[in-house]
Amino acid sequence: MGTNPSQATVQNSPLERIKTIAEKMFADAKGSHSWEHTLRVFQLCERIGVKAGADMAVVLTAAYLHDIGRCYQDASNGRICHAEKGAELAAPLIEPLDLSKHQKENILHCIRSHRFRGRTPPRTIEARVLFDADKLDAIGAVGIARAFQFAGEVGARLHNSRSNIEDTRAYSEEDTGYREFRVKLSKIHERILTAEGKRLAADRHAYMCAFFDRFLAEHAGEL
Ligand SMILES: [Fe+2]
Ligand SMILES: [Fe+2]
């Protein structure tokens, strides 16, 4: 049975080829930073990007490539910045694409500026869309699930009601889902940049706050 022509076009489109190359770079990735995160970010970019009037060829290519430097950051214990490294690795991959020089530079800027604590702030609409999509995936119900998954990966406890959050360390037994929420996730909604991103972030933030209120109450035997 042959492949029908429209299917062949989709499978061989430049974006699909970028997707295939990018996915291979996640072969050894851990659960909380796996390829699935990139697929969720891609979907959010589709939604936020259209509403923001972004150049979708730029946004979607950058979405697939934004975390390809992750394994280098993990292997170097954080010395290498995965956003900077990702842009370096992406440059030769996007070179053959039928896009303008300006679009290619924008893709690299999107990748370089997507990080939470990055040195480069997102300057273009496309970079702001990717930044928001990436941050949104860290909050809400998915954010909670990822926080506990990450805690499991570093061998953390489910919760410690006796510890003072300010005195606990990352990557330790005390790096619990609740610690991640207090230290990082609860502040993310303040940094979102686009109108649609802000709307989604407010909803996800409220859900997360309600979840942890309930979690603490159940953990204390109050509910
Ligand atoms: Fe990232
Ligand atoms: Fe990401």
> Higher model confidence: residue 17 or residue 76?
17
Q: Could you tell me the pLDDT band of residue 165, with boundaries at 50, 70 and 90?
A: confident
Output the CA 222–ligand 2 centroid distance in Å: 37
Residue 138 has pLDDT above 80, yes or no: yes
Residue 7 has pLDDT above 70, yes or no: no
Mean pLDDT of 149-161: 89
Q: Looking only at Cα atoms, what is the longest distance across the chain?
A: 64
Q: Which pTM does this prediction carry?
A: 0.91
| Lowest mean pLDDT segment, chosen from 12-16, 73-77, 143-147, 193-197 | 73-77
Residue 141 has pLDDT above 50, yes or no: yes
Report how far residue 151's alpha carbon sits from residue 168's, in angstroms, rounded to the nearest whole number.
13
Report how far residue 158's alpha carbon sits from residue 25's, in angstroms, rounded to the nearest whole number.
31
Residue 209 has pLDDT above 90, yes or no: yes
> Higher model confidence: residue 161 or residue 4?
161
- Encode burial over 117-134: b for 16+ CB neighbours within 10 A, e otherwise: eeebebebbbbbbbbbbb
> Which ligand lies nearest the alpha carbon of 33?
2
127's CB contacts (< 8 A; 6+ apart) are 62, 106, 109, 110, 113, 114
Share above pLDDT 70 across residues of the chain, in percent, rounded to a whole number: 94
Q: What share of the chain is helix, strand, coil (3-state, %, to 5)?
A: 65, 0, 35
220 neighbors 161 (Cβ within 8 angstroms): yes
The per-residue DSSP string of 97-127 comes to SS--HHHHHHHHHHHHT-STT-SS---SHHH
Nearest to 192 by CA among 139, 156, 144, 120: 139
> How does the average pLDDT of the chain come out, rounded?
91
Mean pLDDT of 18-44: 90
> Residue 154 gets which letter from DSSP?
T
User: What is the model's pLDDT at position 20?
Assistant: 95
Q: Which amino acid is at 62?
A: A
> Which ligand lies nearest the alpha carbon of 34?
2
Output the CA 218–ligand 2 centroid distance in Å: 32
> Which ligand lies nearest the alpha carbon of 37?
2
> Which ligand lies nearest the alpha carbon of 116?
1
pLDDT in tens, 99-137: 999 999 999 999 999 996 767 799 999 999 999 999 999
